[in-house]
């Protein structure tokens, strides 16, 4: 009971934490308790920890620790890749040693003996592709193609130079301080694959996520079926117990039978719990990423849109309305800026400004509709990538949007 109770407790705590970290800054939740918990987890918690450590350790040790922190969390390093290999490799070894001898079994056909190696190979192939594919690094050679392909919307992106790469930053790109490069249509820097997720490897990132979700779900399924077979083999389906409340003898409930097996055989059960938790968490993350991709928004842009929404809430976002074309129709907006001058786009002859009241009034020009957005993710534009790297060859498919 304790093992299962702890596992369920951990599962719930992990799920809640992931939910807070993923959605705590969303416009609907950020002003409530979830938003406050997000701020605590990402700002106040770490700050309190750091200031306490600084006092306890002294300046010299603190500087050393800060150096380690910088290497671990603010620069490219293979720690999470190694952790991923360790945790998956360890689980696979334990599975092969303790669970495989029970296959085939009452509930598992011998075909699983062929599916299991295929699953293992698929996982690591997908992982390798995700780790090694070019995310869409922008170089001096290909920057013009990115500039031609991505329009500036005047809201999230305006023409400006990357101070590190020293060329004009294309719209939707971002400079990654860890990869030390500008990446086209950057989604986020992923520590698990130790590189950025951008226009060119978003599909491989999804491929890896899909593979991981079904790999973990499949592993959990096998372990649970082995436990189900134990119920039959150990005669637990025919076992009885005394009901404490009534004093009657009743058939042993399914969950009690499972708990009994878990106490006798912890390894297969632990693999099942780990695989279920991982599958569930990665599935949630996958859904969130698909939701963003379907809306034509990258993770990076999701944060930018939140800033835009903040500007709207503070009444600082205006659009210039072309009064000549307007004729009483407020929807014919030309350009947008954030209550500042320096808009480099063409000015209407008789500009008048209208305050934006809601995010619905602002158009995301990168949103081409749910299915087209997903199509773009899985069949990205053919932009020039680093020719010196074989893994960085991009799909030769024709660019639908060129």
Catalytically active residues are 190
End-to-end CA distance of the chain: 60
Please report the DSSP string for 334-393 in residue order: EEEESS-S---SPPPSSEEEEE--SGGGS--TT---HHHHHHHHHS-------TT-GGGP
Sign of CA dihedral 221, 223, 227, 230: positive
- Our finding on whether 74 is near Zn ion (CB under 5 A) is no
Alpha-carbon distances, residue 107 vs 226, 230, 255, 287, 383 (angstroms): 7, 10, 18, 31, 49
Collect all residues with Cβ–Cβ distance below 8 Å to 70 and sequence separation of at least 6.
none
- Our finding on whether 175 is near Zn ion (CB under 5 A) is yes
Which is closer to Zn ion, CB of 175 or CB of 260? 175
Shortest Å, Cβ 386 to Zn ion: 14
Number of residues that bind Zn ion (CB under 5 A): 10
Using CB under 5 A, which of the segments 6-14, 80-88, 154-162, 308-316 binds Zn ion? 154-162
Q: Are 262 and 3 in contact (CB under 8 A)?
A: yes
Q: Pick from 155, 176, 308, 321: which binds Zn ion (CB under 5 A)?
A: 176
Beta strands in 209-279, from DSSP E residues, in sequence order: 240-242, 249-251
**Torsion of the alpha carbons at 102, 104, 109 and 115, rounded to the nearest 10:** 80
Shortest Å, Cβ 392 to Zn ion: 14
Shortest Å, Cβ 298 to Zn ion: 13
Q: Pick from 165, 197, 213, 273: which binds Zn ion (CB under 5 A)?
A: 165
Q: Pick from 137, 182, 197, 293: which binds Zn ion (CB under 5 A)?
A: 182
Shortest Å, Cβ 198 to Zn ion: 8
- Our finding on whether 3 is near Zn ion (CB under 5 A) is no
Shortest Å, Cβ 384 to Zn ion: 16
- Our finding on whether 178 is near Zn ion (CB under 5 A) is yes
Shortest Å, Cβ 133 to Zn ion: 13
- Our finding on whether 196 is near Zn ion (CB under 5 A) is yes
Which is closer to Zn ion, CB of 38 or CB of 189? 189
- Our finding on whether 164 is near Zn ion (CB under 5 A) is yes
The residue with tokens 């407790």 is 9
The residue with tokens 């379907």 is 294
Which tokens go with 307? 């800033």
Which tokens go with 344? 């480099």
Using CB under 5 A, which of the segments 40-48, 182-190, 197-205, 307-315 binds Zn ion? 182-190
- Residues 107-146, one symbol each (x = binds Zn ion by CB under 5 A, - = not), give ----------------------------------------
Under DSSP, is residue 295 helix (H, G, I), strand (E, B) or coil? coil
- Our finding on whether 149 is near Zn ion (CB under 5 A) is no
- Our finding on whether 258 is near Zn ion (CB under 5 A) is no
DSSP class of residue 161?
A: B
Residues contributing to the site for Zn ion (CB under 5 A): 162, 164-165, 175-176, 178-179, 182, 189, 196
């Amino acid at each position: 009971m304790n093992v299962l109770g702890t596992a369920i407790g951990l599962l719930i705590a992990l799920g809640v934490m992931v939910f807070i970290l993923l959605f705590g800054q969303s416009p609907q939740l950020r002003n409530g308790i979830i938003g406050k918990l997000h701020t605590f987890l990402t700002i106040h918690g770490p700050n309190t920890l750091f200031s306490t450590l600084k006092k306890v350790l002294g300046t010299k040790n603190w500087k050393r620790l800060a150096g380690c922190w910088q290497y671990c969390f603010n620069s490219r390093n293979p720690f999470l890749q190694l952790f991923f290999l360790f945790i998956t490799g360890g689980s696979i070894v334990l599975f092969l040693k303790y669970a495989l001898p029970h296959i085939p079994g009452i509930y598992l056909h011998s075909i699983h003996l062929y599916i299991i190696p295929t699953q293992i190979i698929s996982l690591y192939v997908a992982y390798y592709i995700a780790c090694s594919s070019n995310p869409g690094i922008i170089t001096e050679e290909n920057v013009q193609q990115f500039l031609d392909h991505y329009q500036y919307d005047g809201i999230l992106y305006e023409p400006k130079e990357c101070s590190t790469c020293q060329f004009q930053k294309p719209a939707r790109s971002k400079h990654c301080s860890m990869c030390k490069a500008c990446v086209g249509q950057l989604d986020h820097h992923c520590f698990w694959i130790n590189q950025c997720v951008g226009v060119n490897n978003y599909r491989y990132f999804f491929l890896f996520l899909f593979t991981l979700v079904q790999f973990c779900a499949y592993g959990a399924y096998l372990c649970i079926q082995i436990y189900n077979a134990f119920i039959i083999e150990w005669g637990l389906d025919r076992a009885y117990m005394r009901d404490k409340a009534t004093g009657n003898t009743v058939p042993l409930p399914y969950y009690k039978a499972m708990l009994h097996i878990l106490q006798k055989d912890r390894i297969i059960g632990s693999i099942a719990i780990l695989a279920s938790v991982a599958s569930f968490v990665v599935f949630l993350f996958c859904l969130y990423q698909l939701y963003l991709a379907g809306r034509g928004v990258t993770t990076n842009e999701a944060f930018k849109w939140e800033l835009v929404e903040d500007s709207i809430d503070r009444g600082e976002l205006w659009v210039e309305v072309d009064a000549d074309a307007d004729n009483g129709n407020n929807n014919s907006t030309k350009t947008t800026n954030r209550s500042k001058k320096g808009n480099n786009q063409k000015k209407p002859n008789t500009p008048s400004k209208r305050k934006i009241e809601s995010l619905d009034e602002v158009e995301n020009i990168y949103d081409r509709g749910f299915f087209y957005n997903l199509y773009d993710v899985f069949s990205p534009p053919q932009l020039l990538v680093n020719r010196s790297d074989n893994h960085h060859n991009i799909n030769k498919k024709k660019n639908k949007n060129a």
